[in-house]
Every structure is written in C-alpha cells, then in structure tokens.
Amino acid sequence: MRPRLAAPVGAVFAALAFAATLWGWLLAGGGTVDLPWAPSWDLRFTLALDGLAALYSLLATGIGFAVTVYASRYLPLHLEHQGRSEADIPRFHFFILMFMGSMVGLVMAQDLILIFVFWDLTAIASYYLIGYDAHERDSRRSALMALLVTGITAVCLLIGALMLYAAYGTFSLPALIEASEPGALLAAAGALIAVAGLAKSAQVPFQFWLPRAMAAPTPVSAYLHSAAMVAAGVFLLGRFYPLIQKTDWLLDALLVVGLGSMAVGGILALTRNVLKQLLAYSTISQYGYVVFMFGLGGEYGAVGASFYVIAHALAKAALFLTAGAVTEATHGETRLSHLGGLRRELPFLMVASGFSAAGLAALPLTIGFFKDELFFEAALERGGVFPALAVAGAVLTFAYTWRFWSGIFLGERRSEAHGVPAAMTVPVAALGALVIAGGLYVAPFARLAQAAGEVTFNAPTPIDPAYHLDARAENLMALATYALGVLVILSRSFWIGAAEAFARLGELAGPERLYFASLKGLNAFSDRIHDLEVRDLRTRVATILGPTGVLVGAGLLFTPTRGAYEVGAIGPLDWPLFLALILVAVAAIATVFPRRHLTLALVLSSVGYILAVVFAFFGGPDVAMVQVLVETIMALLFIGILVLLPRKVLEREASNPIPRRRKVRDAGVALIAGFFAFAVSWSTLSQPALEESVAQEHIRLAPEAHAKDVVTAILADFRGLDTLGEITVVGIALLGIATLLSRGRLW
C-alpha cells in the first residue's frame, strides 16, 4: 500500500458519506434503525436520521470532505517540514474517518448508552489527532488534556444517563422525553449532561483545553472546531434540550456560561498573536453564542442555535484552512505580528477567505447575516438587558474577525511568501462560496436549521430568516454592531492594555491552573503510594498483610461469635494428623532463620511437602498429589532463579543485617496478620458444619456429569469458569517470564 493513497480513499469515503446523508435526508426523508443490542440490559442500537442528526452529519461529512481534500496536499508538506516519513499519512486519515464515523453515529443515536459510546469514541479519535505530532511534548500534553477534560466530564453524561434510567426504566431518549417530569432528579441529570456538553464545547470554565489543542495539524483544528469535537458539545445540548428546558435554573445557568464564554473568548481573541490561537478563542466565543441562545430558550433560540452552528462551521473551517495555507506560504510563520500584506501573493485565498470572514462577521449577503438576525431575535424575544449583551458579543466577533483577515492580507508586507497548491485554496473557496450562497438563497439552510430546531424544541418552529429592508429592531442592532465594531477596531490602543491584563489574569488564576494543580497532586499522590508499596518485596508483602490483618481483625471483633473458639477432643486417629501439623508449624517457624537463600528455598518447600501429608490424611488424594507436584516444580524453578542471580548479590544480601526498625515492623505485621488468620480459622472451624453444603451438592451431581472423580468434575465442569480464568493467568505468566528473561521472544 502506498501511503499517498490514503488521502483519495479518505476523501472518497467522506464524499460518499455526505452524498448518502443528503440522499437519506432529502429523498428518503429520514428513517430509523432499531435493533436489540443487549436486551437483558434494556440497551437498544437505535439510530434515527432526524433533523438534528441530518444537520450535524451533513456538517461532519461535508466539512470532513473539504478537510481531507485540503490535507491531501497539506499533510505531505507538514511531514516534510518535520522530517517525518510519509508512512504517517494513513494514520491521519484513519482517525479523521473514525472521527467522522463516531460523530455521525453520535448525532443519530437515540439510546443514552449508545450516545455515550459514540461520545467517547469522538474523544479517543480527537486524542490521536491532536497528538498527531507525537514526537513533540507539547502536542502529547495537549492531547492528554483534551482527553482528560472531555473524558472525565463524559462520565457525567454516563451518570446522568443512569440516573434517568433508574428513574424511568428506559435508555431510549424519545421515551424519556415523553415520560420525564420536572423535578430535582431531572434537573440533576440534565445538569450533569449539560456539563459534559459544555466541556466538549470548551465553554467557561472548561475553555482552556481548546487553545492548547491548537498543537494539532491545521486540518485537524479546522475539523475539530467546525464540525466534530466542539460541535458535538452543543449538539449534545440540542439533543437533550427537551429534558434540559424543563428546568428553569438550568437555562439560566446556560445563559451565564454562554455569556461568560462569549466575553472570555471574544476578549482573548482580540489579544492573541498566533493565528490559530485567535481562531481557537473565537470558537469558544462562537459556541458561547449557541449556548447563550439555548439559555434564552424559545423557538428562536432553538432554530437560531442550529442555524448558528451551520453558519459558524462553514466560516470557521474556511478560516482555519486559510491560517494553515498562510503558514505554509510563509515558511511556517504563525504570528500576526510578523504577517501582513499578502494580498499580492495570495489574491485568490484573500477573496475566498474574505467571504468566510464576512460570514463570521455577519455582513449582509452572507449566511452570517441570518445567524445574527436569529440571534438578535432570540435576545429581543427575551427582552431586558439581553439585546444589549447580544450586540456586545456580535461587536467582539466583528472586531476579531477583521483583525484576523486584515492582519494577514492588508497592511505592509512583513514576511516572504510564495503561492500555495490549489488543493489548499479550493476547499477554502468552496466553503466561502457556500457562505455567500447561503446569504443569497438562505432557504435550504434555513429549512435544515428548522428541522433541527424542531427536534431540539420538541415542537414545530415556523421561523424563516429573510432580508427585511425596513427599520426593524434586528436591522438596527446589526447596524449598531457594524458601527461599534469599527469603533472598537479603531480604538485598539485604548483598550488593548486592559484586554491583555484580563488575559494575564486568566493565566494566573484561570481554571487551567486548577487542572495542572490537580494533575500534579494526583501524580505526587500516586508516587507516594508507589513508594510505600513497591519499594522492595518485604515492604510490599507488609502492605498487603498489614491492612488485611487489621480488616480481618475488625471484622472478627464486630461479628457476634457466640459459642466460638471451642477446643475439640483429640481421638486416637487424630494423632498422626496432629503430629504432621506440628511438623508443618515447626517448618514454618524455621523459615525465619536461614540466612542463605538456597536453604530458605528448601525449608519453604518442606513446609509444602508436610502439608501434602496432612491432605493425604484428610482423604484428599487429588489435593495431596497437586501439592507434591506443585511444591516440586516450584522448588526447582526457585533454585533455577537463584542460580540466575549473581552470586555476589546473593552473598551480600545474606550477610547484610536487616535494620532493627524493619525487623520490628515486619514482625509486628506478621504477628497481627497471623494472629487474626488463626482466630478466624479457629472460630470458623468451631461452628457446626452446615447440613447442606456446596461440596455435598457437587458430590451428588458428579455422576450426572459422567465423573467418578469429584475434584476433576469440579475443575472441568462445575467451576470450569474459575479454571478458565486460572489457566489464562498461567498463560500470561509464561509471557511475563519470556518478557523478563528473553525480551518477549518465546522461542
């Protein structure tokens, strides 16, 4: 297989998936697949192509297609710069396709557990994609951060799902939407699910992982931000919105989080110098709008959020791809302060990305105009201070979008540049064309958003965005946005100090600090435990025996043991057994004294041999035989290992006196554990035997299993599962020995 083939294969798959989704939605009119998955656990494999699913899968596959086409040229160049071989190309396309597949699965899933599974699959795919440049430490750390933040909060989603299941007895989302009633439980479950969604969408206070994730190659960032990972977060909110909106305070919380993200993302985007960082913060703020609209509620909020996701995805993907192309054209320049004036070198890219930038800034004749129209309408419907806050947010968007685009293409030239391959500009142009097409003829996009809004709102949402050439409030707000936006751009020198102070405050006291502190604390804690437990063999045995003895002792002391601890009579037939047991005890005590390792091994095995005699007395020939055989082979392996160890080490260990403190500790632990083991055995044996024990059942059933030997029947039949587990361990142990002694080569 040639690595370069991966790109066309990936692109064809993405295109086919896009076509299939489009066909399924437009011509087949949706549909449902419903299979029993694990019926005994009430799990069903339910996928449905409803409006919401159609919107997000079209985005995932469509933008996925654009990204794979772009990556077909970008990735070889990227690898070449880093001096890596082309063999890494298929990995990228594999994970992008996996990402796409899990995203499509996620948006269609109707079963809570299925949603959770796909949810985590997207996190796994994103982990590998963000950490694609795995040789860079920064890249690995960012990937881990994204995985941890989204993975830990994913557990909230699972908990929420299980709470709902416990209350209503079903994992099916449509059934839950019908059955659930407002209350503390629904609020708690809804809040947990919302936390998972907000963390994935990088909303305040989880926003810190997203800018770090910029360590990923540019196509990954583009995909992550516009159509997959981050979009999955707001998708989850949309999917569970019928449950969430039953609790008023949850909606208010969404309002606060959305506003916070708009502010943090917008202000920081105005201060960032690195292109992709600027875009990352802009994504945080853009999804802040979506969350804000969910919080506003109402049909405008539901449809507006869906429409916003479409418009943002098209524009943001194009802008990311632009950033990647610009960096490529300028030999790796990523800083705005060193870019500028590229209008002559990259005229085509300038126009193409200009369309998308206009879309993001919500200029008329682009799809973005309608996203802001709906946004303003939703805010107006709610009234109060919200229209003013909405305008403020839109002004920030206008300002940083201008900063991005003008910083690259306008002004004086600050760096050398050459042209870029067509495969890297055509996707940008295609996305830009869609942005304009949506501005000229908005109906198809609006219909899709409406269908998605209906699912989200769980009721019909007859809303049609359109141009109105009159002095209605939305239009005035849009005009105010442009005017204030220009003002903000022109007055940069007045506020830049305050904005940068705000950014520094975030670095000093933001949630990222908490993340690193808790990671460090966990590491230190685990190091301490590791030190305590596995420093050497004696300590390890002590850490197991000590707590076990104490727990067993506690159990014994708190259990009412009436008539326990009886001393039975010793009959004439018991004497041989008694003597054998005394020998066992003597041999066991003798193991404490030998200094030489070989002697120790022999004394240890003598304990086992005498025990075998005891078993024989008890009429357990099978057990006695096993004991003898195991003891023999263990002793031989033990001696073999002693031969393997350097003689010097053994002699030094044998002559080194053990420190007094260690001796006291070991003796104390041994005494505690031994005493309570003795007490428990004694008290157990003092109880009268049960009338009907499992052993008798086994003996009774043995003939039915065609066995004359009960022990073998137990091993191979009655308790076969235990045996299976044990022999698997034996197999793994063999692999372990091979790993230790011959680097994993068995033969």
In 3D, which of 434, 379, 155 has the Cα closest to residue 262? 379
| Nearest distance from C-beta of residue 638 to another protein, angstroms | 10
Could you say whether residue 716 binds another protein (CB under 8 A)? yes
Q: What's the 3-state SS for 206-226?
A: CCCHHHHHHHCCHHHHHHHHH
| Nearest distance from C-beta of residue 645 to another protein, angstroms | 9
What value, to the nearest 5°, has the Cα angle with vertex 584 and ends 582 and 590?
A: 105
Find out whether 60 and 118 touch, Cβ atoms under 8 Å: no
Q: How far apart are CA 52 and CA 407, in angstroms?
A: 36
CB burial class (10 A; 0-12, 13-18, 19+) of residue 328?
A: buried
Could you say whether residue 704 binds another protein (CB under 8 A)? yes
Q: Which stretch binds another protein (CB under 8 A): 182-190, 219-227, 427-435, 633-641?
A: 633-641
| Residue 58 CA: distances (Å) to CA of 17, 469, 517, 595 | 9, 32, 40, 74
Find out whether 326 and 408 touch, Cβ atoms under 8 Å: yes
Q: Which stretch binds another protein (CB under 8 A): 8-16, 367-375, 543-551, 716-724?
A: 716-724
Pick the closer one to another protein by CB: 335 or 719.
719
Could you say whether residue 622 binds another protein (CB under 8 A)? yes
| Residue 620 CA: distances (Å) to CA of 685, 688, 701, 711 | 18, 21, 18, 9
DSSP 39-76: GGGTEEEEEE--HHHHHHHHHHHHHHHHHHHHHHHHHH
What is the maximal distance between C-alpha atoms in the chain? 113
Q: Which residue in the set 301, 546, 630, 681 belongs to the binding site for another protein (CB under 8 A)?
A: 630
Q: Which residue in the set 518, 681, 696, 728 belongs to the binding site for another protein (CB under 8 A)?
A: 728
| Nearest distance from C-beta of residue 711 to another protein, angstroms | 7
In 3D, which of 381, 231, 246 has the Cα closest to residue 317? 231
Residue 616 neighbours by CB distance under 10 Å: 17
| Nearest distance from C-beta of residue 629 to another protein, angstroms | 4
Could you say whether residue 693 binds another protein (CB under 8 A)? no
Q: Which stretch binds another protein (CB under 8 A): 5-13, 86-94, 402-410, 738-746?
A: 738-746
Could you say whether residue 681 binds another protein (CB under 8 A)? no
Q: Which residue in the set 144, 187, 598, 715 belongs to the binding site for another protein (CB under 8 A)?
A: 715
- % helix, strand, coil for the chain, step of 5: 80, 0, 20
Could you say whether residue 616 binds another protein (CB under 8 A)? no
| Nearest distance from C-beta of residue 720 to another protein, angstroms | 4
Find out whether 581 and 611 touch, Cβ atoms under 8 Å: no
Could you say whether residue 523 binds another protein (CB under 8 A)? no
CA 439 to chain centre: 37
Could you say whether residue 635 binds another protein (CB under 8 A)? no
Helix (H), strand (E) at residue 190: helix 184-200
| Nearest distance from C-beta of residue 701 to another protein, angstroms | 8
Could you say whether residue 731 binds another protein (CB under 8 A)? yes
Q: Which residue in the set 82, 491, 687, 712 belongs to the binding site for another protein (CB under 8 A)?
A: 712
Q: Which stretch binds another protein (CB under 8 A): 66-74, 145-153, 219-227, 627-635?
A: 627-635
Could you say whether residue 337 binds another protein (CB under 8 A)? no
Pick the closer one to another protein by CB: 89 or 611.
611
Site track for another protein across 639-678, x = CB under 8 A: -xx-xx-x--------------------------------
Q: Which residue in the set 8, 182, 460, 720 belongs to the binding site for another protein (CB under 8 A)?
A: 720
Of residues 453 through 512, those in contact with another protein by CB under 8 A are none
Q: Which residue in the set 633, 649, 664, 699 belongs to the binding site for another protein (CB under 8 A)?
A: 633
What value, to the nearest 5°, has the Cα angle with vertex 208 and ends 235 and 357?
A: 65
Residues that bind another protein (CB under 8 A): 621-622, 625-626, 629-630, 632-633, 636-637, 640-641, 643-644, 646, 704-709, 711-713, 715-717, 720-721, 723-724, 727-728, 730-731, 733-734, 737-738, 741-742, 746-747
